[in-house]
Amino acid sequence: MKKLISVLLSMMLVLSLAACGSESEEASGSAGKTYSVGICNYVDDASLNQIVANIESQLQALGEANGVTFEISYDNCNADANVLSQIIANFIADDVDLMVGVATPVAMAMQSATEENQIPVVFAAVSDPVSTGVVASLEAPGSNITGTSDYLDTTAVMNLIFAADPDADKIGLLYDMGQDSSTTAIADAKAYLDAKGIAYVERTGTTVDEVMLAAEALIADEVDAIFTPSDNTIMNAQLSIYETLTEAGIPQYTGADSFALNGAFLGYGVDYANLGVETANMIYDVLVNGSDPASTPVMTFDNGTATVNTETCAALGYDFDEISEVFAPYCTKVQSITTAESFDDLN
């Protein structure tokens, strides 16, 4: 009996060591590997550039910490659908291991282009991935795609407008009708204002020049404040309109801190630096850990941070400390920023 027990214990020890060896091999199996990642940005603006920069830096950090290499091919389609299609075709021809689509139009194009080849796609900053059909649901995206969403809590932004100016009776809505990121947010803003019996005026643009004309039209409309969601077209024109709006005494409330960086009175929404980091973490999990995009939930974020441009704030006649106290009940936090072209310029 003792001999039998001894044999059994020896067998168990061998199996245990074998299991440990297997786990060790699995954990280190990716060491030394190189993964190719194709990143396409929709347009050159502070928000999206910040996302890309943080994806790249986080992938580099993860690679160095875990003994793997990420070879990144980066391109920007500058909102041109034909250029976008060519960039994606190049990624496919180069046989990248994974594509990253920054902003809704890029994510939608990548989803369509990978239906047959099933190259994994991780998107970043898709405001409404379900309504646009990018994923089946946030919990179970389906197929070969997942990512991060910068969904905007429009009601929270509206609450800030009326906290600062309870007597506001006409709100301007400034956006690009062709931007999927604006569709739901603008519909929600209209519903909010309709419920309160507040008038609103819509002005839209698809180019910088058109946005500038739209901003001037809202001034002529004598709106009390302007709401802009996380709209890439308006973001691209923000540096061209903020002074005009400020001089007219009209505060602009927007869906990202990058708008405030580029002169808007207030940006409310997600931390795009953190969104970029989390997008990189998802890329790592898919490529290195073998996570299935189809069952990896889309990541959403707390939209509770209000970023106030202190220069614009002062020009509009507000005291930053006082307006921060007014906004505080409606935000996780209120932070300040000064006008610059990019976040790198603040360093």
When pLDDT is averaged across residues 39-46 and rounded to a whole number, the result is 94
H/E element holding 9?
Answer: helix 2-28
- The predicted-structure confidence for 258-301, as pLDDT tens digits, reads as follows 999 999 999 998 889 999 999 999 999 999 999 999 999 999 98
- The count of residues in the chain is 347
Q: Is residue 9 pLDDT above 60, yes or no? A: no
As a whole-number percent, the residues of the chain with pLDDT over 90 amount to: 84
- As a whole number of angstroms, the distance between CA 59 and CA 153 comes to 29
What is the predicted pLDDT for the residue at 14?
38
pLDDT class for 141, splitting at 50, 70, 90?
very high
- The predicted-structure confidence for 168-186, as pLDDT tens digits, reads as follows 999 999 999 998 889 999 9
Q: Is residue 1 pLDDT above 50, yes or no? A: no
pLDDT class for 7, splitting at 50, 70, 90?
very low
What is the predicted pLDDT for the residue at 180?
85
**Predicted TM-score of the model (pTM):** 0.83
- As a whole number of angstroms, the distance between CA 34 and CA 328 comes to 47
For residue 7, the tally of other CB atoms under 10 A from its CB is 10
User: Helix (H, G, I), strand (E, B), or coil: what is residue 300?
Assistant: coil
As a whole-number percent, the residues of the chain with pLDDT over 70 amount to: 91
What is the predicted pLDDT for the residue at 344?
85
* Closest C-alpha among 285, 314, 317 to residue 299: 285
- The predicted-structure confidence for 221-251, as pLDDT tens digits, reads as follows 999 999 999 999 999 999 999 999 999 999 9
Domains in the chain: ranges and CATH: 34-150+272-295 (3.40.50.2300), 154-269+304-346 (3.40.50.2300)
Note whether 233 and 212 are within 8 A (CB): no
Note whether 99 and 88 are within 8 A (CB): yes
Mean pLDDT over each residue of the chain, to the nearest integer: 91
Note whether 38 and 96 are within 8 A (CB): yes
- As a whole number of angstroms, the distance between CA 292 and CA 290 comes to 6
- As a whole number of angstroms, the distance between CA 154 and CA 191 comes to 10
Buried b (16+ CB within 10 A) or exposed e, 171-205: bbbbbbeebbbbbbbbebbeebbeeeebebbbbbb
What is the predicted pLDDT for the residue at 47?
87
What is the predicted pLDDT for the residue at 2?
40
- The predicted-structure confidence for 12-41, as pLDDT tens digits, reads as follows 443 443 444 443 333 446 778 999 999 999
β-pairing, 266-269 with 305-309?
A: antiparallel
Alpha carbon distance, N-terminus to C-terminus of the chain:
74
Quote the DSSP letter at residue 330: G
Q: Within 13 Å, how many C-alpha atoms sit on residue 108's CB side?
A: 16
What is the predicted pLDDT for the residue at 29?
63
Q: What are the Cα distances from residue 223, in Å, to 231, 247, 248?
A: 20, 14, 10
